[in-house]
Amino acid sequence: MQKNIFLLGPTASGKTELAKSLYDNFPLEIISVDSAQIYKGLDIGTAKLSGDDQEKYPHHLINCKAPCERYSVNEFRMDVKKISTKIYKSDKVPLLVGGTMMYFNALEHPLDEMPESSDEVREKVRGELERYGLVYLYEKLFQVDPDIVKKIKPTDTQRILRALEVYYISGNPISSYHQVGTRHEAKYNSLKIALLPKDRVILNSRIEARVSSMIKSGLIEEVELLIKGNPELDLTYPALRCVGYKQVYECLTGVSPIKELNEKIIIATRQLAKRQMTWIRGMENLLLIDPFNAMELKSVIGRVKKFLN
Mean of the per-residue pLDDT values of the chain: 92
- What backbone torsions phi and psi does residue 65 show, to the nearest 5 degrees? -125, 145
Instruction: Look at residue 206 and tell me whether its pLDDT is greater than 70.
Output: yes
Instruction: Look at residue 184 and tell me whether its pLDDT is greater than 50.
Output: no
Summarize pLDDT for 89-132 with one digit per residue, the tens.
999 999 999 999 989 988 987 665 667 777 788 888 989 999 99
DSSP 39: B
β-sheet bridge partners, residue 283? none
β-sheet bridge partners, residue 288? 194
Long-range contacts of 160-168 (CB under 8 A, 24+ apart): 160/134, 161/122, 161/125, 161/126, 161/129, 161/137, 162/117, 164/125, 164/128, 164/137, 164/140, 165/117, 165/121, 165/122, 165/125, 166/114, 166/115, 166/117, 167/141, 168/121, 168/124, 168/125
pTM check: above 0.85? no
Q: Which domains does the chain have, with CATH numbers?
A: 2-111+181-308 (3.40.50.300), 119-177 (1.10.20.140)
Report pLDDT for 112. 58
Instruction: Look at residue 183 and tell me whether its pLDDT is greater than 90.
Output: no
Among 33-42, 66-75, 175-184, the range with the most confident prediction by mean pLDDT is 33-42
**pLDDT band at 179; cut points 50, 70, 90:** low
Summarize pLDDT for 7-42 with one digit per residue, the tens.
999 999 999 999 999 999 999 999 999 999 999 999
β-sheet bridge partners, residue 289? 195
